[in-house]
């Protein structure tokens, strides 16, 4: 599903150049649930942003579902993001003047789906994350866990190839974190490929494979025994 070869990325800060990714080689097969770990500054968020086409690598190749991702202009990047990827952010990033249902329906609007259709589809995904009764509530009327579940429903609604989660439990307490991880595990069990960036060991062990990054290089990449989140709730 994802093939990355010799990926380099550096940022210019004034006169200095900060080399963040120093040659990443990394493959993800369909249906995997991978966590990317590392201390801050290890380059894990940069890697995720490149995978999410929110940022572009300097050198190296990136193939997503057989499509080489390079020399993207904004227009094509937007189309690929809409078609291939679903994002889950630490700070949820819901549009605060739209209710839960409309937030979920948003990526469908950009797919050009008609109003009635996308409302129905968004509703079915809200049901899937257990928030059907909260459809008409605005984000500020929802708890953190509920917000993240709305964000997950939104990420799923466009039926992406890959879900990218950047510290999805970073703003949540442990109980809610496990509930969210349970939802993510459930989605993975249905066959969706998911990448999770986290710095929490317990969250990482709820995935099936852990990739350790340090100073822009992968220092460890191993399959782990998945801990079911439900067991911890």
Partner 1 sequence: MFDLERWQEIFETIRKNKLRTFLTGLSVASGIFILVILLGVGQGMQNGISNQFENDAANIIFVWTGVTSVEYKGLNPGRRIQMKNADFDFAVQKHKDKLEYASSVNRIWGGMVNYKDQTGSYRVEGVLPDYQFLENAGILSGRFINIRDQENYEKTAVIGKKIQTDLFKNGEDPLGKRIQISGLNFKIVGIYSDPGGDREESRVFIPLSTSQRVFNAGNNISFLSFTLPKMENFDNAMAVSNRFVSDLETRLKEKYSIAPSDESAIDINNTIEDAKKFYGLMSLIKWFFWGVGIATIFAGIVGVSNIMLIIVKERTKEIGIRKALGAQPLSIIGMILHEAIFVTLIAGFIGLISGLFLLELVGPLIETEFISNPSVNFNVAITTVFILVIAGAVAGFFPAWRAASIKPIVALRDE
Residue 224 CB, shortest distance to partner 1, in Å, is: 29
d(CA 190, CA 173): 26
Query: Judged by CB, which is closer to partner 1: 76, or 233?
Result: 76
Residue 109 CB, shortest distance to partner 1, in Å, is: 7
Provide the greatest CA pair distance for the chain.
Answer: 54
Residue 49 CB, shortest distance to partner 1, in Å, is: 5
| CB-based burial label for 13 (10 Å; 0-12, 13-18, 19+) | exposed
Residue 51 CB, shortest distance to partner 1, in Å, is: 12
Residue 174 CB, shortest distance to partner 1, in Å, is: 25
d(CA 90, CA 148): 8
Query: Judged by CB, which is closer to partner 1: 78, or 224?
Result: 78
Query: Judged by CB, which is closer to partner 1: 87, or 178?
Result: 87
Q: How many residues does the chain have?
A: 233
Strands 59-64 and 2-13: antiparallel
What is the token pair recorded at 22? 């120093």
Which positions lie near partner 1, rule CB under 8 A? Answer: 49, 52, 54-55, 74-75, 78-79, 81-83, 87, 89, 93-95, 97-98, 102, 106-107, 109-112, 114-115, 154, 158
The SS3 of residue 204 is helix
Indicate the angle between helix axes 74-84 and 100-110, nearest 10 degrees.
Answer: 120
Query: Judged by CB, which is closer to partner 1: 97, or 127?
Result: 97
What is the token pair recorded at 28? 């993800």
Query: Judged by CB, which is closer to partner 1: 97, or 233?
Result: 97
Residue 108 CB, shortest distance to partner 1, in Å, is: 9
Query: Judged by CB, which is closer to partner 1: 73, or 222?
Result: 73
Query: Judged by CB, which is closer to partner 1: 1, or 106?
Result: 106
d(CA 16, CA 50): 21
Nearest to residue 195, comparing CAs of 157, 221, 167?
167
Contact 211, 231 (CB under 8 A): no
Residue 98 CB, shortest distance to partner 1, in Å, is: 7
């Amino acid at each position: 599903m994802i093939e990355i070869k010799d990926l380099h990325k550096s940022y210019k800060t004034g006169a200095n150049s900060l080399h963040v990714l120093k040659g990443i080689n990394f493959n993800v097969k369909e249906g995997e649930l991978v966590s990317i770990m590392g201390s801050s500054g290890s380059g894990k968020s940069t890697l995720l942003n490149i995978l999410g086409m929110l940022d572009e690598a300097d050198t190296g190749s990136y193939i997503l579902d057989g499509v080489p991702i390079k020399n993207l202009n904004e227009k094509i990047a937007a189309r690929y993001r809409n078609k291939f990827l679903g994002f889950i952010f630490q700070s949820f990033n819901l549009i605060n003047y739209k209710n839960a249902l409309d937030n979920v329906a948003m990526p469908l609007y950009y797919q050009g789906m008609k109003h009635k259709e996308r409302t129905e589809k968004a509703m079915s995904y809200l049901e899937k994350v257990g928030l059907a009764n909260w459809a008409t509530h605005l984000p500020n009327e929802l708890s953190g866990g509920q917000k993240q579940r709305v964000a997950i429903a939104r990420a799923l609604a466009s039926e992406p190839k890959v879900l990218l989660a950047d510290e999805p439990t970073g703003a949540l307490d442990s109980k809610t974190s496990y509930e969210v991880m349970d939802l993510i595990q459930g989605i993975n069990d249905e066959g969706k490929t998911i990448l999770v960036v986290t710095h929490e060991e317990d969250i990482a062990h709820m995935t099936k494979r852990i990739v350790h990054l340090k100073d822009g290089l992968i220092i460890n990449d191993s399959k782990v025994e998945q801990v079911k989140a439900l067991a911890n709730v």
